[in-house]
Amino acid sequence: MNIAQWLVRAAHDHPQAPALAWGRSVLHHHGNLARHVSAMGAGLWKLGLSPGDRVGLVMRNHPAYWESLLAIWYAGLVAVPIHSQLHPRELAYIFSDAGTPVVIAHPSTLSACEQAAAVCPEVRHVIDVASANYRRLAQVEPMAVVAREPSDLAWLFYTSGTTGRPKGVMLSHHNLRTMCGHYFADVDTIAVRDCVVHAAPMSHGSGLYALPHLAQAACNVVPESGGFDAQELFDLGTHWQGITLFAAPTMLKRLVEAPGDDPFSGLKTLVYGGGPMYVADIQAAMSRFGPRFAQIYGQGESPMSITVSPKAIHQDLHHPRRALRLASVGRAFVGLEVRVMNEQDQQLPVGEIGEVCVRGPVVMQGYWRNPAASAQTLRNGWLHTGDMGCLDKEGFLTLKDRSKDLIISGGSNIYPREVEEVLLLHPDVSEVSVVGHPHPDWGEEVVAFVVLRPQSLTQTAQTLHNLDEHCLQHMARFKRPKHYRVVSQLPKNETGKVLKTELRQLLHV
């Protein structure tokens, strides 16, 4: 049941088919990628690792990410993909909690990883993918793929709960295989000469789309920029054919607004998700690129799989409920059950708003070393997503709110409590509350309402500058507030709970 067996099969059946590309250049065909990965797996074992050990991946998009991920699985290890922009203190928590003896880093993340590893005795090796140490991993005798049970852990993905404390989502080899089956059943077919282009972070959603392409011996293409650049994607779209691209709504909006006449000729399917998509934006995208779109709603705990709005829905131009369907996130994947429940975990009727819950074989095993959070989130056999929504009579799910006060900016999750706790460390801050505010490009931006201590009110501008510097020292840059609003007090109810709804209303005054 080892996911890496898919690479072994691809190498046997299609040894000369492109497997991994850097821009337009093919770096590996399936035959030599399998040989390279099998040697890397043996190299990881030489570092003292054994099946079940965790290996951290802290990288921006790079071909070495895919090589490393496959080698980790090939050797029977567990991958811990981590956001490349995290602060060293955030990395240190994950390294310690997951227990990662080895961390593989991109040159741009190396310094942060080394700072984090310096305070984590669990970390024995930090390997830069641009170094001789990384190359030496593959300079050993290849090994056979290590057998794994369906329930064995494959992917430990760190997300944040409503408190902002990172939790490791445990996904098994069976979870990931099931996820790929959902993709083939409800999203798209894949041919050997097709490819997926990774413009979104491979450590998150885009990396999951690599797996169904591996299963069909297709190619993974990493843009040379290592990220999202509309003109670069258009250029790759003239070179590669059968392209699948995953894009957060903000990325799709930028593609639509980018100059140029090329209609992205090589694009087969663009899957969007990871944040709210407005009907006007998806209609503009289809107007420019044609009806090549599918939408997926999922989360780390149910990877790439809760509901789907396939291409057929987008292509049905004359359906009387077309606008409502486009405003929804589609219907449950085949093999999954989706319900909307109240606070007593009772199923609600059609049209009523409650918490979105899902169950099925793709749902996570639980949270790593966190039985209390696991029991709460998976109570009564259902994954409680924390998202609010309603179902219509056809089974289409429309989301009304997301994970309490979760902010999604540029496709990345930002949890207010996490930002608030950092701001409260500053001596000038008496109280703080963080909310999201709609942004035309990023989806949402972070706004902090702060109550300053009296001695700081005479130099408000300097104090706010100091707060910004303080945030940069304690958290990832993308999480820091983009705006500060100084208030004399925060609105609260009778129990002292801050009323964030009222704060959001103040942003529209």
The pLDDT tens digits of the residues spanning 70-79 come to 999 999 999 9
How far is residue 113's CA from residue 83's CA, in Å, rounded to a whole number? Answer: 12
pLDDT of 420 reads 86
Query: For 6-21, what is the mean pLDDT?
Result: 98
pLDDT of 113 reads 98
Query: For 406-423, what is the mean pLDDT?
Result: 82
CA angle 35, 102, 204 (to 5 degrees): 80
CB 91 within 8 A of CB 137: no
Residue with the two structure tokens 């567990």: 78
Instruction: Identify the weakest region by mean pLDDT among 67-71, 226-230, 413-417, 433-437.
Output: 413-417
Please list the residue range(s) of the chain that carry CATH number 3.30.300.30. 407-506
Which residue has better confidence, 454 or 131? Answer: 131
pLDDT of 260 reads 78
Q: Hey, what are 413's tokens?
A: 């999750």
Instruction: Identify the weakest region by mean pLDDT among 150-154, 256-260, 476-480.
Output: 256-260
pLDDT of 382 reads 98
Instruction: Identify the weakest region by mean pLDDT among 29-43, 202-216, 340-354, 400-414.
Output: 400-414
Which residue has better confidence, 490 or 129? Answer: 129
Q: Does residue 355 carry a pLDDT above 80? A: yes
Highest CATH level, class, for 407-506: alpha beta
pLDDT of 403 reads 55
Q: Terminal CA-to-CA distance of the chain, rounded, Å? A: 56
Q: Does residue 496 carry a pLDDT above 70? A: no
pLDDT of 424 reads 85
Q: Does residue 494 carry a pLDDT above 60? A: no
Q: Does residue 107 carry a pLDDT above 80? A: yes
CB 402 within 8 A of CB 321: no
pLDDT bucket at 161, cuts 50 / 70 / 90: very low
pLDDT of 48 reads 96
Q: Does residue 56 carry a pLDDT above 90? A: yes
DSSP structure class, residue 347: B
pLDDT bucket at 162, cuts 50 / 70 / 90: very low
Cα dihedral 24→138→203→78 (10° resolution):
150
Which residue has better confidence, 250 or 236? Answer: 236
Instruction: Identify the weakest region by mean pLDDT among 51-65, 200-214, 372-386, 483-497.
Output: 483-497
Q: Does residue 383 carry a pLDDT above 90? A: yes
Task: Tell me how crowded residue 196 is: count the other CB atoms within 10 A of its CB.
Answer: 28
How far is residue 236's CA from residue 152's CA, in Å, rounded to a whole number? Answer: 37
pLDDT bucket at 164, cuts 50 / 70 / 90: low
Q: Does residue 163 carry a pLDDT above 50? A: no
Counting residues of the chain whose pLDDT is more than 70, the rounded percentage is 97
pLDDT of 111 reads 98
Which residue has better confidence, 366 or 399? Answer: 366
Q: What is the pLDDT of residues 184-196, one digit of tens each?
A: 999 999 999 999 9
Name which of 238, 173, 206, 251 is nearest 442 in CA terms. Answer: 251
pLDDT bucket at 310, cuts 50 / 70 / 90: very high
CB 335 within 8 A of CB 360: yes
Please list the residue range(s) of the chain that carry CATH number 3.40.50.12780. 5-390
Which residue has better confidence, 104 or 327? Answer: 104
pLDDT bucket at 404, cuts 50 / 70 / 90: low
pLDDT of 257 reads 87
- What CATH topology corresponds to 5-390? Rossmann fold (3.40.50)
Q: What is the pLDDT of residues 21-42, one digit of tens each?
A: 999 999 999 999 999 999 999 9
pLDDT of 417 reads 75
pLDDT of 385 reads 94
pTM: 0.84
Residues in the chain: 509
| Largest distance between two CA atoms of the chain | 72
pLDDT bucket at 276, cuts 50 / 70 / 90: low
pLDDT bucket at 136, cuts 50 / 70 / 90: very high
CB 431 within 8 A of CB 469: no
- Residue 144's Cβ-count burial label (10 Å; 0-12, 13-18, 19+) is exposed
pLDDT of 493 reads 64
Q: Does residue 350 carry a pLDDT above 90? A: yes
Query: For 387-414, what is the mean pLDDT?
Result: 83
Query: For 444-469, what is the mean pLDDT?
Result: 90
Average pLDDT, the chain: 92
